[in-house]
Amino acid sequence: MRESGPAGAGGTAGVDRAAGVAGVAGVVVEVFGAGHAAQRNAAALKRLAARMPVVFASRTGAGELYTSTAGYPGSEKDLIDGGLIPAGSLDGLKARVLLTLLLADGADRGRIAAVLAQTAD
């Protein structure tokens, strides 16, 4: 079974570790507030998203992610433009379970994005 792994938005070490783990086919990263990652991590997250599906969820545990309110490096729009997939209203744990199931079913990035879009409020 292809696995999904967690990564945190606080440092690039978790992102780099996730990229190098054998068998990881996708990653869920928990970001700040309504969908913002630290600017220093944005480039690493986008590089990872070029290699595998990377879903970002809010670490607040509730509420929907923004998708187009800000455009600075690390903002939700920047992450989406860089290939990351918003988790809609799912928290990180639920997004990871859903990503794992989708990957096990052979879902590609487009299908993963479409399914997660359905979770938005």
pLDDT at 121: 64
Q: Is residue 105 part of a domain?
A: yes
Residue 15 forms part of a structural domain: no
Question: Could you tell me the residue range of the domain that residue 91 belongs to?
Answer: 3-9+28-117
Q: What's the pLDDT tens digit per position in 1-43?
A: 344 545 554 555 566 665 666 678 999 999 987 788 888 899 9
Burial (Cβ within 10 Å: 0-12, 13-18, ≥19) of residue 73: middle
pLDDT tens-digit readout, 97-109: 999 999 999 999 9
Whether 41 maps to a domain, the answer reads yes
Q: Is 69 part of any domain?
A: yes
Any domain includes 103: yes
Q: So what's the pLDDT on residue 79?
A: 94
For residue 81, being part of any structural domain is answered with: yes
Residue range 35-89, pLDDT digits in tens = 888 888 999 999 999 999 999 998 887 777 767 777 788 889 999 999 999 999 9
Q: The CATH number of the domain where 69 resides is what? A: 3.40.50.40
Q: Using CA atoms, how far apart are residues 57 and 10, in angstroms rounded to an integer? A: 14
Q: Looking at this protein, which amino acid is placed at residue 78?
A: D
Q: How many structural domains are present in the chain?
A: 1
Cα 72 to the center of its chain, rounded Å? 18
Single-letter code of the amino acid located at 39: Q
Largest CA distance in the chain: 37
Q: Is residue 22 part of a domain?
A: no
Nearest CA to 18 out of 34, 29, 31, 10 is that of 29
Report yes or no on 45 lying in a domain.
Answer: yes
